Structure 1
Amino acid sequence: MLRPLSLEEFSGMLGSLYQGPLESIPWSTFLDQLKCSMGAKHATLTLRPPSQHVDGLSINTAGSSAAMSASYNQYFYTLDPFTDLPNRQVVICTEFVSEKDWLESEFYKGFLEPVDVFHILGADINTSLGSKCRIRISRDRASGPFNQQDKEFLASFLPHLERTVILHMCLNRIESERNLYAGAVDKLAVGTIILDQDGKVLQSNRLAQRLLAERDGIELVNDGLQVGTVRDCQEFHKLIDQALLSQKGKNPSLVKAMRVQRPSGRVNLGLIVRRVQQSEWSDGRYCPAVVIFISDPAQKSTALEEIVRSLFDLTPAETHLTFQLANGQTIDEASEELGISRNTARAQLRSIFSKTGVTSQTLLVRLILRSVATLG
């Protein structure tokens, strides 16, 4: 029999439910608590039901078999009679399917009986964002059937479960968009470093991490940044302080640029310091406050040759030459690198100019570096 929860216990389960979207395996803690509270063998939350087009996406409690989930996604979902339940209503399987039909079903005989599952309690939730999720609680035959008290217990969590699923979807969408834009910045060969309100580094992308590791013009010291010469560093921190003051004063966005000398003698780095526009309700020490964009002129183009070739209808030879020029070589250096004569290189360059509509090598380089090819 289900033991009534104290207010403290119920509050703890609600806390686990709302923490669910932030767990590495979402809702795993809550599902384990739900399984124990209801004397169940398994508890499963399905975020995406399987279909002929996509596999299902489910979270199971500890002890559930991965092979069992795989067999359901590959075959048994088509035989499952306990689906398409009334929206937001808790249902016992024998209320939905007669016990006789349940026992005689291929789904029970082939999928549930071998793992000693008989009693199932569940609910389907169709969220306002269009997703369809399911929660299923199961017991073995010896543990006895679910009753009205069990139904009411699970029902008490359904409105909260729906809200957390919607939160999960929103967070997942934000994370996907963040990864998309971060990947685009990486492809554009721009280093980005994000600072918090104390000027400490919160996050950096791959190019910025490489530049920091090289310690050639910019480096990380005690969670803060040091750049170039002493004069460069003074100017840099002055710009950061201005951006932070702009942030606190809610002034219009501040953008400043500077060049940074590199001890190695390589071409100077270009830096842009910019205030991060925060939402009206942003708060907290770890909110992004300032972003630094870093341009490394020595960085080679990351555009894919096949994409450049398709975009501008170039031949393979013309594409190779275009890349040598985009990466800073002269026509003589490119012809030597490619093992072709200077005259052949010039003939190919004229053809490239004709196809791309530019009239100089400088414009060609600019066209390639500004095209969508770098996002490939």
Structure 2
Amino acid sequence: MAHSFSLDKFSVMLGNLYQGPLEPTPWQSFLNELNQFFEAKYVTFILRPPSDEDNGLMVNSNGSSAEVVASYNQYYFNLDPFVDLPNGQVVTLEEFVSREAWLSSEFYKNFMEPVGVFHILGADIRTSDGALCRIRVSRGVESPGFVDADKALLAHFVPHLERSVALHTQINRIETERNLYAGAVDQFAVGTIILDEAGKILQTNQVADQLLREKDGLKISADSLQVGTPRDCQEFRRLVKQALQSQKGGQPSVVEAMRVQRPSGRADLGIIVRSVPLSEWNEGKACPSVVIFVSDPEQESRAPQEIVKALFDLTPAEAQLAMLLANGLTLDEASDELGISRNTARAHLRSTFSKTGVTRQTMLVRLILRSVATLG
């Protein structure tokens, strides 16, 4: 049974607790150490309690099977008597539920006893943003029950766990927003390449990846971006150097543009080079310093036909025609693609003009490409 621990041990465990939000399975290392330290059977951290509408989010120390977790999430959470504990206070099961009630409960007999759990130590944490988390440490019937010393030791970690959860929530929120914005840029068919302070590639999006795989005007050499002809590459390096100097000097964001020839003879790529402003407290290496935006005139619009149809109240045939025109086809080419006569295509186009309020084909193309349809 755990009685005390050294400052060094506490420091290591605390480090793993704060490292938890960055682990592939959050807090796995900390929970495993806590499991070993308390000589427990399991340690469970419930980041989001299950409900009738949601399975919740649970992390266990090594040893708890997926079947047990699924069984709790799908059924037994409703029968668990060891819930709604005083906020931030460490308590034992014995303090919360009588021995007789525990032994006679369906939760114990059908769920806990089969996996060898008898004693439980826990705390509930309600964060400032309204989240409810639960930490549970369990031992088998053959092990000693939890005592005040155990409660005091777990209590040392509770406020730090709350702060770590806040960090996890903030990181998740930022990552979700980043993915949303990255997805929007992908839908606009704009390649994005982020460089660090040394001009090395840090990150690319899907559109940029495709352009780099084609090696037609863009390619990677020794983690650096190479563009177009030698003359293009020289100009590109100048623009990147200028953007880096602007960033390091704390100057306003520099935006430069250039065209890049493609060996295949396809339409030139358009490139924007922009410095990334540093945050006030930015430190360290490998930070985003320059962003490269790449447009390919031959990229087709990714606006889904169903969304175009819904936005402008078009028929399926009208939406198909509108999308072909938005992707650069002439009316004759679009009618051939759809297998319809030119007169039928013109009738669809007149109806589309009436519904969208435009009078020319170029205006229709601009309306579609500037609408939220491209974000669908």
Q: How does 1:189-228 map to 2 (within 5 A)?
A: 189-228=189-228
Question: C-alpha distance in 2, partners of 1:154/1:3?
Answer: 11
- Residues 321-330 or 134-143, more deviating: 321-330
Q: How does 1:52-91 map to 2 (within 5 A)?
A: 52-91=52-91
* Letter paired with 2:276: V
* Letter paired with 1:66: A
* Letter paired with 1:375: L
- Residue of structure 2 equivalent to 1:238: 238
Number of matched pairs: 376
* Letter paired with 1:154: L
- Residue of structure 1 equivalent to 2:37: 37
Matched, 1:185 2:194: no
Q: How does 1:333-352 map to 2 (within 5 A)?
A: 333-352=333-352
* Letter paired with 2:159: P
Q: Deviations over 1:116-138 (max 9, x none)?
A: 11000000000112110000000
Greater than 6 Å deviation, 4+ residue runs: none
Q: CA deviation at 1:4?
A: 2.1
* Letter paired with 1:349: L
Residues 246 and 275 of structure 2 are in contact (CA less than 8 Å); yes or no, is this contact kept in structure 1?
yes
Q: Deviations over 1:67-97 (max 9, x none)?
A: 1111111111111110000000000001001
Q: Deviations over 1:6-62 (max 9, x none)?
A: 221111111111111100011111101001110100000000001112112100011
- Residue of structure 1 equivalent to 2:276: 276
Question: C-alpha distance in 2, partners of 1:129/1:291?
Answer: 34
Matched, 1:101 2:101: yes
Question: C-alpha distance in 1, partners of 2:325/2:240?
Answer: 36
Question: C-alpha distance in 2, partners of 1:56/1:252?
Answer: 45
Question: C-alpha distance in 1, partners of 2:65/2:334?
Answer: 59
SS at match of 2:262: coil
Residues 252 and 277 of structure 2 are in contact (CA less than 8 Å); yes or no, is this contact kept in structure 1?
no
Matched, 1:124 2:116: no
Question: C-alpha distance in 1, partners of 2:140/2:91?
Answer: 17
Residues 3 and 37 of structure 1 are in contact (CA less than 8 Å); yes or no, is this contact kept in structure 2?
no
SS at match of 1:157: helix
Residues 119 and 145 of structure 2 are in contact (CA less than 8 Å); yes or no, is this contact kept in structure 1?
yes
- Residue of structure 2 equivalent to 1:257: 257
SS at match of 2:258: strand
* Letter paired with 2:94: T
Q: CA deviation at 1:205?
A: 0.2
Q: Deviations over 1:331-365 (max 9, x none)?
A: 11111111111121112111111111222221211
Question: C-alpha distance in 1, partners of 2:16/2:53?
Answer: 32
Question: C-alpha distance in 1, partners of 2:285/2:357?
Answer: 50
Q: CA deviation at 1:282?
A: 1.3
Q: How does 1:108-147 map to 2 (within 5 A)?
A: 108-147=108-147
Q: Deviations over 1:104-157 (max 9, x none)?
A: 111111111111110000000001121100000000011110000100010011
Q: CA deviation at 1:278?
A: 2.2
Residues 3 and 150 of structure 2 are in contact (CA less than 8 Å); yes or no, is this contact kept in structure 1?
no
Q: Deviations over 1:249-283 (max 9, x none)?
A: 11111111111111100000011111112211112
SS at match of 1:62: coil
* Letter paired with 2:268: N
- Which residues of structure 1 form unaligned runs of 5+? none
Residues 257 and 270 of structure 2 are in contact (CA less than 8 Å); yes or no, is this contact kept in structure 1?
yes
Residues 56 and 73 of structure 1 are in contact (CA less than 8 Å); yes or no, is this contact kept in structure 2?
yes
Q: Deviations over 1:181-230 (max 9, x none)?
A: 10111111110000001111000001101101111011111111111112
- Residue of structure 2 equivalent to 1:372: 372
Residues 246 and 254 of structure 1 are in contact (CA less than 8 Å); yes or no, is this contact kept in structure 2?
yes
Q: CA deviation at 1:3?
A: 4.2
* Letter paired with 2:27: W
SS at match of 2:333: helix
Residues 92 and 146 of structure 1 are in contact (CA less than 8 Å); yes or no, is this contact kept in structure 2?
yes
SS at match of 1:159: helix
Residues 257 and 272 of structure 1 are in contact (CA less than 8 Å); yes or no, is this contact kept in structure 2?
yes
Question: C-alpha distance in 2, partners of 1:77/1:56?
Answer: 10
SS at match of 2:53: coil
- Which residues of structure 2 form unaligned runs of 5+? none
- Residue of structure 2 equivalent to 1:298: 298
What's the % identity of the aligned pairs? 65
Question: C-alpha distance in 2, partners of 1:348/1:13?
Answer: 68
SS at match of 2:162: helix
- Residue of structure 1 equivalent to 2:50: 50
TM-score, normalised by the number of residues in structure 2: 0.98
Question: C-alpha distance in 2, partners of 1:143/1:348?
Answer: 78
